[in-house]
Structure 1
Amino acid sequence: MFRSQARPRLFVIIIALLAAIGVFGGHHAHAAEPVARMSVTVTGKGPDVILIPGLASSGAVWDATAKQLSGRYRVHVVQVAGFAGAPVGGNGEGAVVAPLVEAIDGYIRSAGLKSPAVIGHSMGGLTGLALARRHPADVDRLLIVDSLPFYPLLFSPAATVEAVRPQAVGMRDGLIAMPTESFDAQQTMTMPRLVKSPEGLKAALAWSKTTDRSVFARAMYDVLTTDLRPDLAAVTVPTVVLYPFDPMMGAPVERVEQLYAGAYAALPGVRLERIDGAYHFIMLDQPAAFAAAVERFLN
């Protein structure tokens, strides 16, 4: 079932895990739930922009973006509970992604934000897309940074949630049971395929190693078993999708383009933008190009 057509670098961590198993300044806003699913750091003044990090990432992945925007925007950086050394909080058991969507909705409402722009990377992009579908009044516009509406498309265009679920369960449980030394060694081998920048790689590796293992595993399970393709036609929020390409990915650029274009074909008015010379962490590998893309998105 998991026969890859292109094997692009997006979430190659999933492939590696399958094989193995077979900080930011500012003032903290109040959490959206009594036992927090997340915390939020706020800087700047102006129109609101929410930044959502990806799987096992720190909110610090957005440091450069927050610095870029905080002179003109009020920037809200999400830190997912249990990721990158953050307290596990409300993510101690059960699903991670769907409750995170509702926590962000609760934060937007309780903080009185008026249709902020939302930027999400990786799992954060999937979260932003679900937020735009379930709570369209929450989102003025959406920037998805290297994410797919259904991740198993990386392995097969015929993938379904039902077919993927047994593998996802095995990967979740195996990841939780994996000895720390094995997990750390695996991450050390995997992360260079996700980040080109030496400094970015050092940070992303540290974030993954300090993420609570159970939260990591359950969030990955959520990502693998969430299929938002049936919802795309109903999404009314203007959306831009950024995706990377580098010759070292090992797939022709045409195949990578087809993957993203096909995945988002049902999303009305979507604009796809390719960033060359980057792996999965576009903001770390090509910061200038990423900053320019953010400006285009907001303007």
Structure 2
Amino acid sequence: MSALTASQRPRLVLIHGWAQHAGIWQVWRDRLAPIADVTAVDLPGHGGKPWKNAIRSLDALADSVLPALEQPAALGGWSLGGMIAMNLARRHPSRVSRLVLCNTTPRFVAGHDWLHAVQPSLVEGFRRRVSENPERVLRDFLSLQLRGESDSRQTLTLLRSALTDQNRPRAAALEFTLSLLAQTDLRDELAAIAPPTLVIASDGDAITPLAAGEYLARQLPDARLLTVTGCGHAGFLSRPERLSPGIDEFLGGDSVQEMAS
């Protein structure tokens, strides 16, 4: 891949997933450095950013990312971060030029009309326990992320290295975002999300299954699905070499339809 001049380089803003922080994107920042200006943000209560008790909704949480979108940019997100990215693209379309959705979903918990998700009891159990024993909850969630990985040791190392003591998420932020994941359903909003979208999904994901990514790719107005095989919930992290060509093409293109033509 050849480097681009400053005037040619697209901007990409990245949002991490639940209980993580901006450092989880370092592999992507390194790989995309020749062709894009990449910024990774911390959500409130994660990484180096303090928690704000005034945040009480998905809109408010998403708005914490707006300072990174003063100029229009491509916006990417993993899991919870992808849900936030979709919220921003719908409410602030002039700020989001395109979307990259990694292992995400319009609805995190299962219901009678939505089976491509974890059970509500799992998320509620995490929420009840997270204030008393956050370390145990994080370990349990880490185990879920590793399901479906053909090389779980490498992925485990990457995920653990991102969660150093100084980057531990605040318990209040974890409890709030778990409640948010249990309540949020974006399915009725997908048709209003206009930017070209690259949906990245893994065939072994036990948290946001491949079927959820397939649903997004069908329901979003301008979307393409990129499936990563032999991976779990962190496929973007464990197999970046498989994703780089598709992401390079997407960031430099005009629309998903043009990529497919």
State the match for 1:102 in structure 2: 63
Residues 51 and 172 of structure 2 are in contact (CA less than 8 Å); yes or no, is this contact kept in structure 1? Answer: no
For residue 48 of structure 1, report the CA deviation from its aligned partner.
1.3
DSSP-derived class of the 1:54 partner: coil
Name which of 135, 144, 148 aligns with 2:105.
148
For residue 55 of structure 1, report the CA deviation from its aligned partner.
0.9
CA gap 1:259/1:67 in 2 versus in 1, 3 angstroms: closer
CA gap 1:265/1:211 in 2 versus in 1, 3 angstroms: same
For residue 202 of structure 1, report the CA deviation from its aligned partner.
2.6
CA distance in 1, matches of 2:203, 2:239: 11
State the match for 2:199 in structure 1: 241
State the match for 1:279 in structure 2: 232
Report the residue type matching 2:160 in the other structure.
L
CA distance in 2, matches of 1:168, 1:187: 10
Per-residue CA deviation, residues 128-153 of structure 1 (Å, 9 max, x unaligned), is 1111000000111101001011122x
CA distance in 2, matches of 1:212, 1:97: 17
CA RMSD of aligned residues (A): 3.1
State the match for 1:226 in structure 2: 184
1:82 aligns to 2:39 (yes or no): no
Structure 1 window deviating more from structure 2 (46-55 vs 87-96): it is 87-96
Identical amino acids, percent of aligned pairs: 22
CA distance in 1, matches of 2:42, 2:24: 10
CA distance in 2, matches of 1:139, 1:288: 25
For residue 103 of structure 1, report the CA deviation from its aligned partner.
2.0
Name which of 286, 289, 294 aligns with 2:242.
289
Per-residue CA deviation, residues 217-254 of structure 1 (Å, 9 max, x unaligned), is 211211221111111111111111110014xx68xxxx
1:51 aligns to 2:14 (yes or no): yes
TM-score by structure 1 length? 0.68
Query: Structure 2: where are the runs of 5+ without partners?
Result: 253-261
CA distance in 1, matches of 2:162, 2:58: 18
CA distance in 1, matches of 2:82, 2:11: 17
Alignment of 1:119-268 (within 5 A): 119-152=76-109, 155-156=110-111, 158-159=113-114, 170-171=124-125, 173-180=127-134, 182-183=136-137, 186-187=140-141, 189-193=143-147, 196-205=151-160, 207=162, 210-246=168-204, 257-268=210-221
DSSP-derived class of the 2:64 partner: helix
For residue 272 of structure 1, report the CA deviation from its aligned partner.
1.3
Residues 13 and 38 of structure 2 are in contact (CA less than 8 Å); yes or no, is this contact kept in structure 1? Answer: yes
DSSP-derived class of the 1:142 partner: strand
CA gap 1:159/1:261 in 2 versus in 1, 3 angstroms: closer
Q: How many residues are aligned here?
A: 237
Report the residue type matching 1:47 in the other structure.
P
Name which of 14, 18, 27 aligns with 1:64.
27
Residues 282 and 290 of structure 1 are in contact (CA less than 8 Å); yes or no, is this contact kept in structure 2? Answer: no
For residue 283 of structure 1, report the CA deviation from its aligned partner.
2.3
CA gap 1:61/1:221 in 2 versus in 1, 3 angstroms: same
Report the residue type matching 2:34 in the other structure.
G
